[in-house]
């Protein structure tokens, strides 16, 4: 029985009703049905063990929308036979919180347990959060908060110190596809009582556009099924054209695991390498709008920064890593602009593959030559015995020399004289080439004047 009959109440997950959204009906009933978050809920993982042993403390779930925060809280309440009381920052005031806490305290004395679930806890003000504190501390309630924002900044310190923070990851596209497939055959909770004809390609499109949000994917599938025209065989056919109408966007030809994926990423990489910012922006946008994982694109641009630019513009690596962090922080679509900024920066930066080529030559030598021992003069003599057998003998401490450079050999004997890194005259690498020439001249003079 709710203490607040006038407030909107949550739908009990065990009582699926015809008017409930598909996402609500498909909430998992067991831990084994829960998809994703294996690092928390896999066999033997701490949170799963706590749930199975019915030994829970207060906790915070931090993760993006649609990753399962509310579902997991409800599941915990169901599996531990606890009363589940949800709060909304929009609808709940201090008075209501205190009334619920008083009732939970009475129940705790009789051995009953109450799980208080605070969705979007970052929207609660300090006074609202404070109202939970004494009851969390006294053990009258098990507090579970959910937030899409960093709890370090959005949750008051006293409450944060009394809870364990669990970080939930966004669902991957294949995981969301599995959820959609499950809903198509589930006759009790899903769409299994209808014959819905939908290709794997369209399911992957729905999952890609959901951007890790299972609820969004379920909503898209449900709306598409409702909008589908019934065929002569009685089936509801979800076509690409129908999905375009539902999503209100054009579906570009794309296959995240097929040839078109590799064609497009190749076009982006080669446009950057050819210093063409317009083409780089186009191919980047084409992939993003086709449903490509933005973090995949961020990783590829980090690779470009080292492979095609290297030390000709050392800041390129920092820019691409910052773009990845910015997307992590902002999400889609705002974070797409940070990726676009990185693509243009890489395109306009001076180019050099000297580092890439040099490292490749090193790897080849590592694989093809004998692994000669480290020269004795480069070894640390950390014991008397090591010193007696010659460890460190002949080592030249560069800081004691006028130019901070010596002619000491640092490669093993079988590779002495090898030059792997050959800087170009592009960008900052021109200065590095001048410095390397200077170092080689100093070493040559030192060798000729021992």
Q: Is the pLDDT at 12 greater than 80, yes or no?
A: no
Q: Please report, to the nearest 10 degrees, the dihedral formed by the alpha carbons of residues 94, 97, 101, 102 taken in order.
A: 60
- Both 391 and 328 in a single domain? no
Residues 156 and 72 in one domain: yes
Burial of 323 (0-12, 13-18, 19+ CB in 10 A): buried
Find the distance separating the first CA and the last CA of the chain, reported in whole Å: 93
Mean pLDDT of 68-74: 90
Look at residue 253 and tell me whether its pLDDT is greater than 70.
Answer: no
Q: What is the average pLDDT value for the chain, to the nearest integer?
A: 85
Provide the residue range defining the domain that includes 123. Answer: 22-167
pLDDT at 14: 46
Would residue 57 count as lying in a domain?
Answer: yes
In 3D space, the residue among 186, 169, 174, 176 whose CA is nearest the CA of residue 42 turns out to be: 169
Q: Is residue 254 one of the residues assigned to a domain?
A: no
Q: For the domain that residue 147 is a member of, what is the CATH number? A: 3.40.50.300
Distance from the Cα of residue 81 to its chain's centroid: 33
Would you say residue 418 lies in a domain? yes
Do 107 and 205 have their domain in common?
Answer: no
The residue from 106, 135, 167 where one domain ends is: 167
Q: Are residues 191 and 206 in the same domain?
A: yes
Mean pLDDT value of segment 175-197: 90
209 in any annotated domain: yes
Greater model confidence, 301 or 30: 301
Per-residue pLDDT at 89 exceeds 70: no
List phi, psi (to 5°) of 58.
-70, 150
Number of domains in the chain: 4
Same-domain pairing of 159 and 186: no
> Over the stretch 312-332, which tens digit does the pLDDT of each residue have?
999 999 999 999 999 988 888
CATH of the domain at 275: 1.20.272.10
Residues 197 and 308 grouped into a single domain:
no
In the block, tokens 């020439």 appear at 437
Please tell me the distance from the alpha carbon of residue 309 to that of residue 316, in angstroms, as a whole number.
Answer: 7
Does 217 share its domain with 118?
A: no
Q: How confident is the model at residue 403 (pLDDT cuts 50, 70, 90)?
A: confident
Average pLDDT of the segment spanning 176-186: 92
Q: Write down the pLDDT at residue 16.
A: 45
Q: Which residues contact 5 (CB under 8 A, 6 or more apart)?
A: none
Q: What is the structure's pLDDT at 87? A: 80
Give me the pLDDT at residue 10, please: 40
Distance (Å, whole) CA 51 – CA 43: 11
Please count the CA atoms within 13 angstroms of the CA of 375 that sit on its side-chain side: 15
Q: CATH number for the domain including 422?
A: 1.10.3710.10
In whole angstroms, what separates CA 8 from the centre of its chain? 33
pLDDT the model gives residue 256: 54
| Local confidence band at 11 (pLDDT 50, 70, 90 cut-offs) | very low
pLDDT tens for each residue of 20-32: 899 889 888 888 8
């Amino acid at each position: 029985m709710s203490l607040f009959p006038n407030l909107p109440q949550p739908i009990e997950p065990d009582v699926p009703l015809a008017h409930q959204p598909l996402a609500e009906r498909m909430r998992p009933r067991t831990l084994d049905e829960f998809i994703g978050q294996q690092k928390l809920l896999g066999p033997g993982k701490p949170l799963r063990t706590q749930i199975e042993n019915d030994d829970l403390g207060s906790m915070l779930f931090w993760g993006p929308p649609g990753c399962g925060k509310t579902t997991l809280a409800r599941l915990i309440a169901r599996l531990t036979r606890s009363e589940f009381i949800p709060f909304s920052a929009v609808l709940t005031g201090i008075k209501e919180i205190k009334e619920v806490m008083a009732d939970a305290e009475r129940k705790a004395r009789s051995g009953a347990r109450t799980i208080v679930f605070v969705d979007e806890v970052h929207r609660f003000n300090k006074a609202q959060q404070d109202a939970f504190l004494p009851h969390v501390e006294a053990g009258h309630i098990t507090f579970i908060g959910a937030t899409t924002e960093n709890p370090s900044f959005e949750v008051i310190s006293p409450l944060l110190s009394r809870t364990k923070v669990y970080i939930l990851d966004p669902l991957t596209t294949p995981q969301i596809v599995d959820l959609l497939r499950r809903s198509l055959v589930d006759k009790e909770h899903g769409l299994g009582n209808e014959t819905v004809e939908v290709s794997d390609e369209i399911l992957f499109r729905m999952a890609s556009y959901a951007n890790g949000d299972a609820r969004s994917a379920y909503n898209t599938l449900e709306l598409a099924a409702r909008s589908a025209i019934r065929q002569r065989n009685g089936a509801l056919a979800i076509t690409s054209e129908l999905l375009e109408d539902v999503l209100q966007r054009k579906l570009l030809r794309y296959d995240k695991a097929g040839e078109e994926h590799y064609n497009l990423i190749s076009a982006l990489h080669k446009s950057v390498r050819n210093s063409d910012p317009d083409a780089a922006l186009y191919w980047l946008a084409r992939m993003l709008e086709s449903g490509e994982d933005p973090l995949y694109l961020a990783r590829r641009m980090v690779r470009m920064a080292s492979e095609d630019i290297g030390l000709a513009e050392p800041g390129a690596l920092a820019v691409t890593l910052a773009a990845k962090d910015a997307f992590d922080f902002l999400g889609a679509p705002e974070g797409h602009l940070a990726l676009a900024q990185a693509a243009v920066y890489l395109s306009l930066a001076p180019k050099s593959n000297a580092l890439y080529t040099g490292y490749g030559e090193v790897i080849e030598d590592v694989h093809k030559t004998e692994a000669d021992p480290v020269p004795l003069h480069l070894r640390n003599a950390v014991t008397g015995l090591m010193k007696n057998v010659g460890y460190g003998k002949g080592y030249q401490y560069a800081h004691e020399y006028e130019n901070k450079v010596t002619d000491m050999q640092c490669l093993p004997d079988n590779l002495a004289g090898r030059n792997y890194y050959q800087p170009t005259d592009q960008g900052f690498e021109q200065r590095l080439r001048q410095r390397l020439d200077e170092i080689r001249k100093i070493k040559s003079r030192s060798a000729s004047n021992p």
